[in-house]
């Protein structure tokens, strides 16, 4: 029996090789996974042209995945430098990489990333439209937008952000309500500009069926973008954000009718007490499609530390049902991240994802922590480093300040609580003076 997409296969009762790989990674029965995919609650972004892919699942009952944003820009267009970041992200086991290139040799970079990456690859074709067409934004035709989308699909991109939920009516409301940070989505702002300069409706919406044709042909997962995501906690959960989310729920059903996999993008900046309600709204309004969030950043006052404000929000969001976290680096709002920024962002987001998995009861999550706790109780430094999410940093800390006794550290020395209790349990006497 033939199939067009992972969703089509799942609905026909077909177990694909991608489903088998994901089920093995998740320690899940493959038939259970197939059913979740058939219901739209799980996606496996797997473009038919991405030959180096090691498939991952995103959605209900699966480990929370993380995405790393990369790409060249007008001010930072060194392809080799960005490829170094790609290779490091892969080494650090990021499950997804989004190529957000918006200047210069974007296709050359994209093709290299797809060629070498076992991680799933995402993109935002809207970013590439001006460079692809070599024309002013206002003059880009609807057919040219579709050409950019198809080129990304041909090149092997596994999921694409398409801002089809933004409408002219929502744009009018944003202009009227005077949001504090207006539209902070780059793709959303470009579409907003095109719509208003041409006095036309969103071309991603009016051409949505043609976009579905492309996605079905290559099995590209639609990541329905939140053009109206809040860029400040003041704008969170407002009319524009929620109306767009309602629209995305309707577009989800249209995509599913065409066997196109869908996930929904979400905020953004948001006070911590609003996160749980926003997760519930997305799951209700978008029929339990997987939820992909940037952050949420829980305060606006920590530039230089936004990987922390994001991890706080991401951990809570994941614990309440978010399936996919986009990393945020210390450079957010300030510059293109360098390699060290990227590493810090990955680690912070992985911590958030794992904390969420513990709360969700994901298989194997708590066992990892228990193994680390056992190694700590045994003062087994080698095992602690092996189990560490980032083994390099704790080894450096340990090596930089050596204790007198190997079974302690330089904070407590012989007064180490675990060392003391272990000695008592082993029938030894504790002598802090002469030991």
Annotation-wise, does 269 bind a ligand? Answer: yes
Out of 24-33, 52-61, 420-429, pick the least confident: 420-429
- In this predicted structure, what is the pLDDT of residue 132? 84
- In this predicted structure, what is the pLDDT of residue 102? 84
CATH number of 6-360: 3.20.20.540
Task: Kindly tell me if the per-residue pLDDT of 405 is higher than 90.
Answer: no
The SS3 of residue 55 is coil
Q: Find, among 226, 106, 117, 223, the residue nearest to 160 by Cα.
A: 223
Annotation-wise, does 333 bind a ligand? Answer: yes
Q: Mean pLDDT, to the nearest integer, of 229-256?
A: 98
Omega within 30 of 0 (cis) for the link into 277 = no
Q: Which residues contact 46 (CB under 8 A, 6 or more apart)?
A: 6, 18, 53, 55, 120, 158, 219
Task: Tell me the pLDDT tens digit for each residue of 260-278.
Answer: 999 999 999 999 999 999 9
d(CA 236, CA 281): 13
- In this predicted structure, what is the pLDDT of residue 161? 98
- In this predicted structure, what is the pLDDT of residue 431? 83
Q: Mean pLDDT, to the nearest integer, of 381-395?
A: 96
Q: Mean pLDDT, to the nearest integer, of 409-426?
A: 91
- In this predicted structure, what is the pLDDT of residue 299? 98
d(CA 192, CA 203): 10
d(CA 47, CA 17): 13
- In this predicted structure, what is the pLDDT of residue 404? 85
- In this predicted structure, what is the pLDDT of residue 434? 63
Q: Find, among 227, 307, 337, 238, the residue nearest to 278 by Cα.
A: 238
Annotation-wise, does 326 bind a ligand? Answer: no
- pLDDT above 90 covers a percentage of the chain that reads 89
Annotation-wise, does 319 bind a ligand? Answer: no
- In this predicted structure, what is the pLDDT of residue 78? 85
Q: Which residues contact 274 (CB under 8 A, 6 or more apart)?
A: 236, 237
Q: Mean pLDDT, to the nearest integer, of 61-84?
A: 91
Top-confidence residue, 330 or 405: 330
Annotation-wise, does 226 bind a ligand? Answer: yes
Helix %, strand %, coil % of the chain (to 5):
50, 10, 40
Structural domain spans, the chain: 6-360, 364-400, 403-435
Annotation-wise, does 310 bind a ligand? Answer: no
Annotation-wise, does 74 bind a ligand? Answer: no
Parallel, antiparallel or unpaired: strands 58-59 and 42-43 = antiparallel
Strand partners, 42: 59
Give helix 79-91 / helix 339-360 axis angle, nearest 10°: 30
Cβ 25 vs Cβ 36: under 8 Å: no
Q: Find, among 70, 90, 66, the residue nearest to 81 by Cα.
A: 70
- Give the tokens for residue 374: 């056992």
Annotation-wise, does 69 bind a ligand? Answer: yes
Task: Kindly tell me if the per-residue pLDDT of 435 is higher than 70.
Answer: no
Annotation-wise, does 265 bind a ligand? Answer: yes
Q: What angle do CA 40, 186, 117 make, to 5 degrees?
A: 60
Annotation-wise, does 50 bind a ligand? Answer: no
Task: Kindly tell me if the per-residue pLDDT of 13 is higher than 80.
Answer: yes
Annotation-wise, does 228 bind a ligand? Answer: yes
Q: Mean pLDDT, to the nearest integer, of 384-402?
A: 95
Output the pTM of the full model.
Answer: 0.96
Annotation-wise, does 78 bind a ligand? Answer: no
- Give the tokens for residue 318: 């994941």
Annotation-wise, does 307 bind a ligand? Answer: no
Annotation-wise, does 173 bind a ligand? Answer: no
């Amino acid at each position: 029996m033939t199939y067009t997409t992972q969703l089509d296969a799942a609905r026909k009762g077909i177990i694909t090789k991608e489903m088998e790989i994901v089920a093995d990674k998740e320690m899940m029965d493959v038939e259970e996974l197939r059913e979740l995919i058939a219901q739209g609650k799980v996606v496996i972004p797997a473009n038919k042209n991405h030959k180096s892919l090691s498939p991952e699942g995103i959605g209900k009952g699966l480990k929370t995945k993380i995405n790393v944003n990369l790409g060249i820009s007008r001010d930072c267009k060194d392809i080799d430098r960005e490829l170094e970041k790609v290779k490091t992200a892969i080494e650090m086991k990021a499950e997804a990489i989004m190529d957000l290139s918006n200047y210069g040799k974007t296709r050359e970079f994209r093709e290299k990333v797809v060629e070498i990456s076992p991680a799933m690859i995402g993109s935002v074709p809207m970013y590439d439209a001006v460079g692809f067409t070599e024309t002013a934004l206002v003059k880009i035709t609807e057919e040219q937008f579709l050409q950019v989308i198809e080129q990304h699909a041909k090149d092997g991109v596994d999921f694409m952000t398409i801002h089809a939920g933004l409408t002219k009516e929502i744009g009018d409301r944003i202009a009227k309500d005077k949001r504090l940070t207006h539209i902070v989505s780059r793709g959303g702002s470009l579409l907003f500009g095109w719509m208003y300069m041409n006095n036309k409706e969103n071309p991603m919406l009016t051409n949505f069926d043609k976009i579905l044709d492309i996605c079905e042909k290559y099995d590209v997962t639609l990541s329905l973008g939140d053009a109206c995501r809040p860029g400040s906690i003041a704008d969170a959960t407002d009319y524009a954000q929620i109306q767009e989310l309602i629209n995305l729920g309707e577009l989800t059903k249209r995509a599913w009718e065409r066997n196109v996999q869908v996930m929904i993008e979400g905020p953004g900046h948001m006070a911590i007490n609003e996160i749980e309600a926003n997760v519930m709204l997305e799951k209700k309004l978008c029929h339990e499609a997987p939820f992909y969030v940037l952050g949420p950043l829980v305060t606006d006052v920590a530039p230089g530390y936004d990987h922390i404000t994001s991890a706080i929000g991401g951990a809570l969001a994941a614990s309440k049902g978010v399936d996919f976290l986009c990393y945020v680096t210390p450079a957010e709002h300030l510059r293109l991240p360098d390699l060290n920024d990227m590493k810090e962002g990955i680690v912070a987001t992985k911590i958030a994802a794992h904390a969420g998995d513990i709360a969700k009861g994901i298989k194997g999550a708590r066992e990892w922590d228990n193994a680390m706790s056992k190694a700590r109780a045994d003062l087994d430094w080698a095992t602690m480093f092996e189990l560490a999410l980032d083994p390099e940093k704790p080894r450096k800390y340990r090596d930089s300040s050596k204790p007198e006794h190997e079974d302690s550290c330089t904070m407590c020395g012989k007064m180490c609580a675990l060392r003391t209790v272990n000695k008592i349990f082993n029938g030894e006497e504790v002598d802090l003076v002469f030991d």
